[in-house]
Amino acid sequence: MDTLKNMLSPLGMNTNALQDTLKLVVIGGTVETARRISVSAWNGFVDSFFLTAHFSQEDYPYDWLMHWLSKQPAWGRSREFEITTRTVSRSGITQSTTGDLDEEDVDEDEDALIHGRKKRKVAFIPSLDTTHTIYYRGHWLRITRTKRYPDYGHGAALKISVVARSNDILKKLVLEAKREYEKDAEHRVHIFMADTTYACWRWNGARQKRPLSSIVLQPGVKDMLLADCKDFLASEDWYAERGIPFRRGYLLHGVPGSGKTSLIHSLAGELGLDIYVVSLSSKGMSDNTLTTLMSHVPSRCILLLEDLDAAFTRSVSRDSSSTGVPLGGTTTTNNESDGSTLSLSGLLNSLDGVAAAEGRLLFATTNHIERLDPALSRPGRMDVWVNFTHATRWQAEGIFKCFFPSKPKNPPVDSAETSSPADEKTDVSQKNLPVPKRKASGHTIPVLEEAEIAELAKRFADTIPENELSVASLQGYLLKNKLRPRECVDEVGEWVIQEREMREKLKKEKAEREAKEKKEAEEKERKEKEERLAKELEEKEIKEKLEKKERAKAKKVHRVEASLKLDSANSSTSNTVIGSSGPNTPTEVTLPAVVAAVKCESSSSSSESDSSNGGIEADTEESITSEEELEKPIGGSINVVTKEVGKEKWVAVKGQLEASD
Ligand SMILES: Nc1ncnc2c1ncn2[C@@H]1O[C@H](COP(=O)(O)OP(=O)(O)OP(=O)(O)O)[C@@H](O)[C@H]1O
């Protein structure tokens, strides 16, 4: 220290201050080193004793765990967590809600309504980028949720670490989370929509299952479809043994509002499958996108291709006038203006090419089966066809019974005891629905005797014309009268007349609109044709004038050359032209230079006339004038004189015209 003092004293530095600084540096360095050592020791300890599992948002286990975590009471004691009223899913939190986050919402009846709105369930989930510790089956779990691509707002991941000798505890956790998730999802059908931008599937929400009994179709149709689907799902080995691709296609075709989509949703609920929906006419759909999407469909699901006939058209209209027919065989592509380049061959390949997923049930719907390419609807691609028609009387009766619950004759102790063999034979959709268990939501549905309902349903069905109105329109009428079953039947005849009149009116309006549109289109086409012809004519005239002008110029130059040659022949001694380099000094100008000067003058006069007269017309007139002038016989010599006026030199060419003189 003394040595240091001796060394620093000539520099005039205060040794005490320096000592203090050095002490601080040493202490700070020691503390930081100790911190780093302890962190790395902790990480080493964690790495060697903790088991860690990673879950990515793109995969199902992430959903299960997030669902499980949202149900853990531990979050109630946590000092940091995220509260959401949205459903947690693979593609992020996507179900939009209005989010009524008041205290009474928690733990209350989910079905309760406040001011007509359903109460929201509140979920507590781990907040981002924070490590949480929760206790599970005698172990402390360290849970970290991170966002892998924060800029894009998606790509979350979950990391769960636990101190344990074997990974059994983590396996148990994942299986428990899966069981709970599936139990909760049991009453719901998950819908995934195709995202054409990223060629991936986006979770679109979970819908309440629709009971199959609420779909009223001709007897046997639902049972046949359900049995066929079940049989297919259970015959993977059978298909494999015979080398048949494990795929099955169903084509549901027929009039709008006849229950095609509803039946698919209902079947999905019954079979416990998710629905993956592709709209082939959506923006940006291409062969590659569709193939990628199809190859990412899970093995057990329903793949729904909606409005198959609209695949190759952008038309929003689905009526008979819209052109949905693939026009040119397998190479037909749809509109490319919005980036959609789907071809029929691309669609066929994606359905049953090598990359196509196996084990899926393909359902396709169309309102115009006649427009489908036979290649698309052939067996192997579409194995079962079901035709949906307008409502029959049988359907009308069934849907009426669906709407109005009836009082059971003798309240059953056990439903199994009361079901008679006759009941078993009856289609479920022809039975009355039981009185709803839910609390009445402000209005009361009158509950009539079963016999009365049956009689009303019969009268209702008798008034409905066979195969004329859609089931959706009947549903609309019944919805309007859901509290007045008797009046509903009394007034149905009147409603049918109104419906007919309305349809006639709409038909007429549509015909008028179409006629008007056609006329406008024709008028537009005629105008465009006229404009095109006028333009062509104008262009032709301009071209002719330009050609004439060119000819005139060429003629002029030719004549000047000829007369110069003549002149030079006449005056063999002086074939050079007199000019002037100074005020009075003649200068020799060679013949090509003169020709160039003439050309130059001619073009400058044209361009002057161009600019002064403002266009081709003037230019052409000028050239015509020069042409006329040149028509006059040129007999004399040409004097080319260069003069200098001030400092400017110029060349003049003058033709001595015999005739004019
Ligand atoms: N057969 C039916 N049984 C019960 N409800 C039906 C039936 N047909 C139609 N509906 C009702 O009509 C509405 C429209 O039905 P849905 O969307 O299933 O018809 P769709 O045939 O798929 O029509 P589109 O061809 O226009 O898509 C639904 O609310 C559904 O409840």
Q: Specify burial of residue 79 (Cβ count, 10 A radius: 0-12, 13-18, 19+).
A: exposed
Strand partners, 189: 207
Confidence of residue 198 (pLDDT cuts 50, 70, 90): confident
Rounded Cα distance, 127 and 143, in Å:
10
Q: Quote the percentage of the chain above a pLDDT of 90.
A: 31
Query: What does the mean pLDDT of the chain come to?
Result: 75
* SS3 state at 592: helix
CA-nearest of 418, 438, 426, 422 to 398 is 426
Atom 12 in ligand 1: residue holding the nearest Cα: 472
469 lines ligand 1 (CB under 6 A): no
In sequence order, which residues have a C-beta less than 8 Å from that of residue 534 and are 6 or more positions away?
Answer: none
Please tell me the distance between residue 628's alpha carbon and the centre of ligand 1 in angstroms. Answer: 84
Enter the tokens of residue 617: 């017309």
Q: Boundaries of CATH 3.40.50.300 in the chain?
A: 191-313+344-388
Looking at residue 558, its amino acid is H
Enter the tokens of residue 503: 């349809």
Please tell me the distance between residue 442's alpha carbon and the centre of ligand 1 in angstroms. Answer: 27
Ligand 1 binding pocket mutation candidate from 215, 217, 250, 258 (most atoms within 8 A of CB) = 258
pLDDT for position 206 = 82
In sequence order, which residues have a C-beta less than 8 Å from that of residue 16 and are 6 or more positions away?
Answer: none
Please tell me the distance between residue 472's alpha carbon and the centre of ligand 1 in angstroms. Answer: 5
CA dihedral 72, 76, 77, 81 (to 10 degrees): 90
252 lines ligand 1 (CB under 6 A): no
Can you give the C-alpha Rg of the chain in angstroms? 45
Question: Scanning the structure block, which residue is given the tokens 């330009």?
Answer: 546
472 lines ligand 1 (CB under 6 A): yes
Contact 245, 232 (CB under 8 A): no
What's the mean pLDDT in 438-443?
49
Enter the tokens of residue 208: 């309440």
Which is the closest atom of ligand 1 to the Cα of 262?
A: 18
CA 467 to chain centre: 36
Enter the tokens of residue 635: 């007999």
Please tell me the distance between residue 511's alpha carbon and the centre of ligand 1 in angstroms. Answer: 26
* SS3 state at 200: strand
Please tell me the distance between residue 170's alpha carbon and the centre of ligand 1 in angstroms. Answer: 45
211 lines ligand 1 (CB under 6 A): no
429 lines ligand 1 (CB under 6 A): no
Looking at residue 614, its amino acid is G
ipTM of the complex: 0.98
CA-nearest of 466, 520, 463 to 488 is 463
Confidence of residue 164 (pLDDT cuts 50, 70, 90): confident
Please tell me the distance between residue 311's alpha carbon and the centre of ligand 1 in angstroms. Answer: 21
Contact 476, 256 (CB under 8 A): no
**How is 495-556 classified by DSSP, letter by letter?**
HHHHHHHHHHHHHHHHHHHHHHHHHHHHHHHHHHHHHHHHHHHHHHHHHHHHHHHHHHHHHH
475 lines ligand 1 (CB under 6 A): yes
Residue 465 has pLDDT above 90, yes or no: yes
At 88-123, the pLDDT tens digits run 444 443 333 333 334 444 444 444 444 445 555 666
Rounded Cα distance, 260 and 309, in Å:
15
CA-nearest of 202, 222, 221 to 212 is 222
Confidence of residue 205 (pLDDT cuts 50, 70, 90): confident
pLDDT for position 107 = 44
What's the mean pLDDT in 405-429?
53
Atom 27 in ligand 1: residue holding the nearest Cα: 256
Contact 563, 525 (CB under 8 A): no
* SS3 state at 153: coil
Ligand 1 binding pocket mutation candidate from 305, 475, 478, 482 (most atoms within 8 A of CB) = 475
Rounded Cα distance, 540 and 327, in Å:
38
CA angle 10, 14, 20 (to 5 degrees): 135
259 lines ligand 1 (CB under 6 A): yes
Atom 16 in ligand 1: residue holding the nearest Cα: 259
Question: Scanning the structure block, which residue is given the tokens 């059971």?
Answer: 408
Please tell me the distance between residue 423's alpha carbon and the centre of ligand 1 in angstroms. Answer: 26
pLDDT for position 147 = 76
Enter the tokens of residue 309: 């006939």
430 lines ligand 1 (CB under 6 A): no
Please tell me the distance between residue 307's alpha carbon and the centre of ligand 1 in angstroms. Answer: 14
Please tell me the distance between residue 122's alpha carbon and the centre of ligand 1 in angstroms. Answer: 33
217 lines ligand 1 (CB under 6 A): yes
Which of 211-220, 315-324, 333-342, 466-475 has the weakest average pLDDT? Answer: 315-324
Atom 5 in ligand 1: residue holding the nearest Cα: 215
- If DSSP states are collapsed to H, E and C, what string results for 234-296? CCHHHHHHHCCCCCEEEEEEECCCCCHHHHHHHHHHHHCCEEEEEECCCCCCEHHHHHHHHHC
Which CATH superfamily is 191-313+344-388 part of?
Answer: P-loop containing nucleotide triphosphate hydrolases (3.40.50.300)
Q: Quote the percentage of the chain above a pLDDT of 70.
A: 64
Residue 319 has pLDDT above 70, yes or no: no
* SS3 state at 64: helix
Enter the tokens of residue 455: 């009689």
Please tell me the distance between residue 257's alpha carbon and the centre of ligand 1 in angstroms. Answer: 4
Which of 17-26, 286-295, 652-661 has the weakest average pLDDT? Answer: 652-661
173 lines ligand 1 (CB under 6 A): no
Pairing of the two strands 123-125 and 448-449: unpaired
215 lines ligand 1 (CB under 6 A): yes
Rounded Cα distance, 628 and 14, in Å:
109
What's the mean pLDDT in 628-649?
43
Confidence of residue 3 (pLDDT cuts 50, 70, 90): low
Enter the tokens of residue 56: 């990515």
Which of 188-202, 332-346, 540-554, 646-660 has the weakest average pLDDT? Answer: 646-660
Taking residue 104's Cβ as centre, other Cβ atoms within 10 Å add up to: 10
CA-nearest of 500, 633, 504, 624 to 563 is 633
212 lines ligand 1 (CB under 6 A): no
Confidence of residue 463 (pLDDT cuts 50, 70, 90): very high
Ligand 1 binding pocket mutation candidate from 261, 430, 469 (most atoms within 8 A of CB) = 261
Question: Higher pLDDT residue, 249 or 587?
Answer: 249
pLDDT for position 531 = 95
Enter the tokens of residue 444: 């009361």
Confidence of residue 414 (pLDDT cuts 50, 70, 90): very low
Atom 29 in ligand 1: residue holding the nearest Cα: 472
- DSSP category for residue 92: -
448 lines ligand 1 (CB under 6 A): no
CA 356 to chain centre: 21
pLDDT for position 439 = 47
pLDDT for position 410 = 58
Please tell me the distance between residue 135's alpha carbon and the centre of ligand 1 in angstroms. Answer: 49
Contact 370, 346 (CB under 8 A): no
Rounded Cα distance, 120 and 102, in Å:
9
**How is 377-406 classified by DSSP, letter by letter?**
HSTTTS-EEEEE-SPPHHHHHHHHHHHS-E
- Please report how many Cα atoms fall inside a 13 Å half-sphere around the Cα of residue 451, on the Cβ side: 2
267 lines ligand 1 (CB under 6 A): no
Please tell me the distance between residue 408's alpha carbon and the centre of ligand 1 in angstroms. Answer: 29
Please tell me the distance between residue 38's alpha carbon and the centre of ligand 1 in angstroms. Answer: 66
Confidence of residue 551 (pLDDT cuts 50, 70, 90): very high
Please tell me the distance between residue 220's alpha carbon and the centre of ligand 1 in angstroms. Answer: 18
Residue 350 has pLDDT above 50, yes or no: yes
Rounded Cα distance, 318 and 314, in Å:
10
Residue 621 has pLDDT above 60, yes or no: no
Ligand 1 binding pocket mutation candidate from 471, 474, 477, 480 (most atoms within 8 A of CB) = 471
Question: Scanning the structure block, which residue is given the tokens 């302890």?
Answer: 38
391 lines ligand 1 (CB under 6 A): no
Main-chain dihedrals φ then ψ at residue 572, nearest 5 degrees? -65, -30
Which is the closest atom of ligand 1 to the Cα of 367?
A: 25
pLDDT for position 588 = 43
256 lines ligand 1 (CB under 6 A): yes
Taking residue 518's Cβ as centre, other Cβ atoms within 10 Å add up to: 10
Rounded Cα distance, 379 and 1, in Å:
98
Please tell me the distance between residue 553's alpha carbon and the centre of ligand 1 in angstroms. Answer: 79
pLDDT for position 338 = 57
**How is 318-381 classified by DSSP, letter by letter?**
-STTS--S-TTGGG-B--TTTT-B-BHHHHHHHHHSTTSPSSPEEEEEES-GGGS-HHHHSTTT
- Please report how many Cα atoms fall inside a 13 Å half-sphere around the Cα of residue 58, on the Cβ side: 6
Question: Higher pLDDT residue, 571 or 231?
Answer: 231
Rounded Cα distance, 583 and 641, in Å:
12
pTM equals 0.60
